[in-house]
Chain A
Amino acid sequence: MLAANIMTTKVLSLTPENTVGEAIEALAENKIRQIPVLDADKKLLGLITSRTLMQAILPAYITKGYLKDVRFAPELTQFVENLENLKDKPLIEFLGTRGKDDFFAKEYDTVGPETSTMEIAAIFVNIEKPVDRILVLDDENRVLGIISPVDVFRRLWKQSKTD
């Protein structure tokens, strides 16, 4: 079984000109946790996830783990202000501000359509790199589909029933 057989081909996406605010709306309206940003040639520029957005809003001393426990803090007022500053930012700029070594920037993984489901399942359970969704790309970096852990299970479940 290959990635191409289990992936969802209907992938919602945004353009680099869309704003962070629009990305938040798209995530909320469609009840999804991530949305890829594609250029005019449908090539992948990056992935916006609810976690990357949350990370951008919180102060660095929390997101970088210096202050892991903030149970004593009152409501974080900065939170709203940061969101306000961020919402009109085009996605291309937002993605650009995130460093390559950023933990959450690597939150997703990509595979080719020929990748085996075994390999995909192994990516999902890698404890060193928590991945929520895997994007399936062709050789030119164009998005073909998206795979969630549920897709892997659905296929396994079907197979166990037919056996």
Chain B
Amino acid sequence: MELNVITALLIFIAVYALLIWDKHDRAVVSLLGAGIMVMLGILNQKAAVHGIDFNTLGLLVGMMAIVCVCQKTGMFQYLAIKSAKMAKGEPWRILLYLAIVTAVLSALLDNVTTVLLIAPITLLITDEIEVSPYPFLFTQILASNIGGAATLIGDPPNIMIGSAKGFSFMDFIINAAPLMPIVFVATLVIIYLIYGRKMRIDQKHVDRIMAFREKDAITDVKLLKKCLVVLGLVIVAFMVHGLLHLEAATIAMTGAAILILVTKDDFHEIMTKVEWTTIFFFAGLFILVHGLVEVGIIDAMAEKMLALTDGDVRATAIYTLWLSGIASALVDNIPFVATMIPLIENMEPALGGLEATMPVWWALAIGACLGGNGSIIGASANVIVAGFAARSGHPIGFIKFMKLAFPLMLMSILMAHIYIVLRYL
């Protein structure tokens, strides 16, 4: 092996190790790795910048800004309380409705924001009805990843894959979304059997839930109307962006600009609430992976994988699905997908072109998103809820979570396996 190949590989492995070790800020780790790659001449700055997928970054920043304005309206609290009241204070139905709200919001918005808004209300509700919040938070984590897996904008792996391959919002609706309600229902059936059927209802608690005034949650009706209109337009624009040949970032960024214009919000304040850690983490990763591409490591890995699957699309798709699922449970799914994208792109010609490789791409997207459910560190939403729960005095144990979540994740991957075979192979 050439020296720069070994160096690139060592830097990449060191970054991965540091990310798993999780002692340092992940943005700092990935930017440092990227910086060292450029300094050692593995790729020059021009190539590094070329490697960054600005469509992914723009989509993330735009959606984060939109959500930041929308959350000020109190609409998320309204939805959570309204669903608890519609459940008539019955614990299992509250859990179910909150899970549905989480899944739908996660499909249309960023998962992390969704869970961070719904989880505190969940604790308030479970305090009022005096039940353990654990099954509620557990279900919400799973629901957010399942919901997010359904759309282009729902989960970072989908954003990255969609952006790299030019898949549109509707491509995801047609290919990834149909599986998700089935996975969602199956997951909830198991959660019902384990937790739900033991939940009891008590008139005192029903009264407490019914005493909530969800209308008071809406802080500003004018702002709410503006947000709903812009959010609606953005979602419609996503549905047709493929036809209009517009990239997703254009829609998200323009939507954010329009929303800030009509609400007269403070741009600077909104920008401080964007999760820059995530954005720079992505930028660093893109450079790192581009470094691997430049030195030819990805080519070599693609060849190995093709040799393993004999260039068979069916075998490649199934391998990719299970590998993505299990890998995403154990490590962050974002670096994993960032590495897999150029790898699969490399294999495309041997597998018979983009059209023939489609099942592999859907396997990667579905596997990586659903795989995130396998452990408490599998996806950003999981980590965020776990941190919040611990600080609120209801820690979610690593093993306790995994005991149920990992089998549920394997079940969902199995369902995805059947889905992909029936639909594409």
Contacts and interface: CB of A to CB of B under 8 A. Distances in A.
Interface in A105-148: none
Q: Is the interface of B mostly helix, strand, loop or mixed?
A: helix
B124 A59 contact: yes
A157 B201 CA distance: 63
A85 to B, nearest CB: 13
Contact of B120 (A67, A75, A77, A78): A67
Contact of B393 (A60, A66, A77): A60
Nearest to B215: A72
Instruction: Name the interface size band of chain B.
Output: 20 to 34
B214 interface: yes
Contacts of B212: 72-74
B392 A77 contact: no
Given A64-B391, A69-B219, A71-B217, A77 B123 contact: no
B208 A74 contact: yes
B392 A64 contact: yes
Interface in B56-99: 74, 77-78, 81
Given A64-B392, A67-B121, A77-B208, A72 B127 contact: no
Q: Is the interface of A mostly helix, strand, loop or mixed?
A: loop
A81 B47 CA distance: 62
A40 interface: no
Given A61-B120, A66-B388, A71 B216 contact: yes
Interface in A45-69: 59-62, 64, 66-67, 69
A23 B215 CA distance: 39
A67 B388 CA distance: 11
Contacts of A70: 124
Contacts of B124: 59, 61-62, 67, 70, 73
A6 B74 CA distance: 47
Contacts of B120: 61, 66-67
Contact of B392 (A59, A74, A78): A59
Across the A-B interface, give the 3 residue pairs with the lowest CB-CB distance, nearest first.
A74-B211, A66-B120, A67-B120
Interface of A: 59-62, 64, 66-67, 69-75, 77-78
